[in-house]
Amino acid sequence: MRAFFSSTLVAILLTSLIVSCSQYKDNHLVDGVSRELAIHRKGNISGVIYTLGFSIPVRLDAKIPATLEMEFLLKSKEDVVLDFKPHYTLVDSSLRGAKVNGESCRLLISGEHLVIPSRYVKAGKNRLYLEFDAGEQSLNRRKELLYTLLVPDRARTLFPCFDQPDIKAIYNLSLEIPLLWEAVANGKATTLTSTQYSKRIAFSPTEPISTYLFSFVAGEFQKLSNNRNGREINIWHRENDPLKVGQAGDIFSLIYSSLEWLEDYTAIDYPFTKYDIVIVPGFQYGGMEHMGATLYSDRTMFLEKNATITEELSRAKLIAHETAHMWFGDYVTMEWFDDVWTKEVFANWFASAIVNPLFPQIDHKLNFINSYLPPSYAEDRTPGANAVRQELDNLNNAGLVYGNIIYNKAPVVMDKMVEMLGDSLFRAGIREYLNRFAYGNASWDDLIEILDNHSDFNLKHWSNVWIKEPGRPHLFIASNGDSFETWEEDPLGRDLSWGKQPLEFDLVPDPRGEVYGLVIPDSALLALTIENLSKGRVVDDVARLASVINLYELCYDGFVAEEVFLNLVAGLLVAEQNPIVFSRMAGYLSSVIFEEHHLFTENLLSGLYKESKELYKRNMAFRAFANVVRSKEAANELYKAWDNPSAFEYVTPGERDLMKIAFSLAILFPEKYDHIGSVQSARLTSNDRLEEFLWIFPSVSPDKEVRDSVFSSLLHEQNRVTEPWAEASLGYLNHPLRSLNSIEYITPALEICGEIHRTGDIFFPARWFSALLSGHSSNEAARLVSAYIEGNRELNPFLKQKILQQSYHLYRK
Ligand SMILES: [Zn+2]
């Protein structure tokens, strides 16, 4: 996928936009925030200060009255275009009391924009005052809580603004909230007045920040405070399980360690007023880096009591990731969302560097390979693969730029770059970058220019193929007498070269896990690899993991038979002593490509959870087992574990494990649906989790009519508000055991993908497609997906990529 528009078309659009800025009455402004509008505004507008007030009532259906006072400097006197796309139809009457520079003004409505006619403004400082009803699309409004999530271009759904990352602004916020609620925002809560039913909290002004980082949370929350070396951090949460709340000490400690590491590395003190985190039940991402009010999902922060070391490590990395964003993303921000990957690659790359010393028992080279290669390959191997950096014409497509390529391929590329530069030159370059663009914006080219100056190597040229082109190389290795011959091919026929990668053979190909791409050994080396692995000769963990990952990729792409891979892994799992390698191999067994081999995987995992000596192996194997159970015999075994978990001698499933197992069991034992539902409901200790369970449970009903009605309900936006629940429901409706009955869901679920994109958050479209398609494996499913794509030539190219990525397994045979 390349640019959206040809350059001629861009030129035409640019001209029409310039005209529409001055003659908006004749020309409708383009919806969203076009690149052209953003460039034009950046050239004319600066010094923006928003003063916002929201009055949040208890009643969910009551409107949220709001006020906006906005100060901005104009270079030249011209129409001022604001972005505003509330969920309601924007009419004059929903905007009240507009004044510009003290004078009453009728703002003009043009699609998703408000326009202040030029006659009301002047060059220099201007003031806009406006009363309006807040838009609610990104308010995540629920019974006892509400939180904003405005990334990437959703600030405009809440209030009128210049919604682009390079017009940074200072925010003054005040909130009126129900008396028993708490509120957290970017600034410090400074004043508080209360009445019988409500209270008003004002927050200190922010530093200059981008619209997508402005945030507040309000609701019934409890607060835990902690202090280290004079720095105070608060955790706000709604958890009532003491075992989970008891993990707060670990969380505080991870935050402090991350902050201290970053201050030391960058030589820049934490650049914002305060550091609070909010743990939100059912939060749709792992975390979101709003400074002063960083949001985390309860699932990733509060671990189950039988959590594995890899889950602990993931939590640590998530905290380090969001904390790294305070410097990379929040302090220095990309100019436009085509470079959003730059903040993500820094966050992920630094997260690895920060967490490594905290887990001395873990091999971090091993962990790096395990974290980044498999998810990156999952997208890069498909015809929907995208480049790390993608052209973006309009911010209304920015959410679709995110995916595994940004999060997982980019750190691999970054790692190669740091290796070329060396640690100290890289650090010097990073410090220069942060200082030069402090509280401002920078592009990838700005960064590469700085790093290039620190290096003799032509980084720009090297990085183009990695950053600006999709796909992975095929790397061939063949024995040639005493030596090995290696060569690279571009499977997409573009004749691209990714540059020299150090591919060697020592027992297995790439024993040090240094290459990115599909390594294809000749048949002799493939046989030797499998023999060396199965005979236990590959004692190095990195060599073993790298070769298993590559063999899985070879299996996925048809170079290795499924039976060969499964037999090999069966032997390796029994002997495996490394938790990371074990968990990766056990995870592969629930891959959709082994669905037909479920009797084999059930038996294997059942044996492992019962017979392994190590508790971590039993836990990991049991979780993987619960995912692959299809046969009656295995189902009975799983039922026994769930029915009386305290008598289950092999592992102790956690609350969330049991909830997940209950969903599977309801599918496996349709006649026990009601019983399973009532037993599991009675077990849940938290109201939030009970609500989640009851919400998802009808999707596993034995009654097709009930499931059909669940499916129909998911087609409506209001039933997808808590996205992880909607995703889980769609996944269970399309469970492999129900795939014959759910094939009819495929087309209608694809048909609303435009709406899924417009109304859903960043990761939701890909997750929607994955939940819909990963339980299917039939030719009919493939035919329906192809028919949808072929019948919709105008389909948004980003959405098409996502569908191709998530449906690739349907086409592999
Ligand atoms: Zn991030």
CB 142 within 8 Å of CB 181: no
Residue 694: Cβ within 10 Å count: 13
29 and 41 in contact (C-beta within 8 Å)? no
pLDDT of residue 119: 96
3-class DSSP state for residue 703? coil
pLDDT beyond 80 at 9 = no
Query: Which DSSP symbol is given to 209?
Result: B
| 503 against 28, higher pLDDT | 503
| Long-range CB contacts for residues 598-605, cutoff 8 Å, separation at least 24 | 598/628, 598/629, 598/630, 598/631, 599/631, 600/566, 600/570, 601/566, 601/628, 602/628, 602/629, 602/630, 602/631, 602/633, 602/634, 604/566, 604/570, 604/573
How far, in Å, is the centroid of ligand 1 from the Cα of 772?
A: 26
Q: How confident is the model at residue 300 (pLDDT cuts 50, 70, 90)?
A: very high
Question: Residue range 696-714: average pLDDT?
Answer: 98
Q: How far is the CA of 794 from the centre of ligand 1 (A)?
A: 31
pLDDT at 11 over 70: no
Q: Where are the alpha helices (DSSP H) in 454-497?
A: 459-468
Residue 411 and residue 102: Cα distance in Å, rounded? 51
**Predicted pLDDT of residue 10:** 38
Cα separation, 449 vs 556, whole angstroms: 39
Cα of 343 vs centre of ligand 1, distance in Å, is 7
pLDDT at 454: 79
Q: Is 6 a residue whose pLDDT tops 60?
A: no
What separation in Å is there between the alpha carbon of 330 and the centre of ligand 1? 11
Determine the distance separating the centroid of ligand 1 and the alpha carbon of 164, expressed in angstroms.
Answer: 18
Ligand 1 centroid from CA 616, angstroms: 29
Report CA torsion sign: 250, 255, 256, 260. Answer: positive
User: Which of 99, 93, 105, 95 lies closest to 71 in space, CA to CA?
Assistant: 99
| Range 118-135 average pLDDT | 97
Residue 262 C-alpha to ligand 1 middle, in angstroms? 15
Instruction: Provide the pLDDT for residue 420.
Output: 87
| 22-35 residue pLDDT tens | 434 434 589 999 99
- What pLDDT was estimated at residue 424? 92
For residue 492, give Cα distances in angstroms to 400, 472, 613.
Answer: 23, 9, 46
C-alpha 305 – ligand 1 centre gap (Å)? 27
Say how many Å lie between the CA of residue 289 and the centre of ligand 1. 7
Stated length of the chain: 813
Residue 305 banded pLDDT, cuts 50, 70, 90: confident
Distance, CA 349 to ligand 1 centroid (Å)? 11
**Of the candidates 786, 785, 754, 789, the residue with the CA atom closest to the CA atom of residue 770:** 785
Look at residue 165 and tell me whether its pLDDT is greater than 50: yes
Instruction: Please give the biggest Cα pair distance in the chain.
Output: 87
pLDDT tens digits, one per residue of 566-591: 999 999 999 999 999 999 999 999 99
Ligand 1 center–CA 102 separation, angstroms: 41
Question: Of 73-87, 108-122, 208-222, 299-313, which range is least confident?
Answer: 299-313
What is the whole-number distance in angstroms between the Cα of residue 510 and the centre of ligand 1?
30
The string of pLDDT tens digits covering residues 148-160 is: 999 999 999 999 9
Ligand 1: centre distance to CA 216 (Å): 18
Cα 548 to middle of ligand 1, angstroms? 28
Strand 216-219 relative to strand 182-185, pairing: antiparallel
Average pLDDT over residues 423-441: 96
How far does the centroid of ligand 1 lie from the alpha carbon of residue 351, in Å? 10
Q: How confident is the model at residue 21 (pLDDT cuts 50, 70, 90)?
A: very low
**Encoded tokens for 356:** 């490594």
What span, in angstroms and rounded, lies between the C-alpha atoms of 731 and 733?
A: 5
Q: How far does the centroid of ligand 1 lie from the alpha carbon of residue 39, in Å?
A: 25
Ligand 1 midpoint to CA 152 (Å): 12
Cα(277) to centroid(ligand 1), Å: 15
Q: For 364-378, write each residue's pLDDT tens digit.
A: 899 899 999 999 999
| Token output for 214 | 């402005």
Q: What is the structure's pLDDT at 282?
A: 86
Report how far ligand 1's centroid is from the alpha carbon of 140 (Å).
Answer: 20
Distance 161 CA to ligand 1 centre (A): 23
Which pLDDT tens digit goes with each residue over 718-738? 999 899 999 999 999 999 999
| CA 285 / ligand 1 centre spacing (Å) | 10
Q: Please report the sign of the dihedral spanned by the C-alpha atoms of residue 444, residue 450, residue 454, residue 455.
A: positive
Q: How many CB atoms lie within 10 A of CB 307?
A: 15
**C-alpha of residue 347 to centroid of ligand 1, in Å:** 6
Q: What is the CA(410)–ligand 1 centre distance, in A?
A: 12
* Confidence bin at 813 (pLDDT 50/70/90): low
Of the two residues 411 and 731, the one the predictor is more confident about is: 731
- Tell me which residue of 681, 663, 787, 654 sits closest to 737, measured CA to CA: 663
Distance of CA 198 from the midpoint of ligand 1 (Å):
35
pLDDT at residue 18 greater than cutoff 70? no
Q: What is the mean pLDDT of the chain?
A: 93
The pLDDT, as a whole number, for residue 531 is: 98
pLDDT at 708: 98
What is the Å distance from ligand 1's center to 340 Cα?
Answer: 9
pLDDT for position 617: 95
Model confidence at 2: pLDDT above 70: no
Q: Give me the residues paired with residue 109 across strands.
A: 114
Residue 4: CB partners within 8 Å, gap ≥ 6? 391, 392, 393, 797
Two tokens at 561? 């038979």
What is the arithmetic mean of pLDDT over 474-480? Answer: 96
Q: What is the mean pLDDT of residues 220-238?
A: 96
User: In angstroms, rounded to a whole number, what is the distance separating the alpha carbons of residues 786 and 790?
Assistant: 6
Q: How far is the CA of 800 from the centre of ligand 1 (A)?
A: 24
How many angstroms separate the alpha carbon of residue 408 from the centre of ligand 1? 11
Q: How far apart, in whole angstroms, are the C-alpha atoms of residue 112 and residue 195?
A: 37
How many angstroms separate the CA atoms of 343 and 444, rounded?
10
Q: What's the CA gap between 289 and 746, in Å, rounded? A: 35
CA 218 / ligand 1 centre spacing (Å) = 23
Task: Give me ligand 1 centre to Cα 648, in Å.
Answer: 39
pLDDT reading at 395 higher than 80: yes
What is the whole-number distance in angstroms between the Cα of residue 384 and the centre of ligand 1?
22
pLDDT band at 267 (very low <50, low <70, confident <90, very high): very high
Our CA angle for 74, 333, 233, nearest 5°, is 115
pLDDT of 361 > 90? The answer is no
What is the pLDDT, as a whole number, of residue 243? 92
Q: Give the pLDDT confidence score for residue 459 in this predicted structure.
A: 84
* pLDDT above 90 for 42: yes
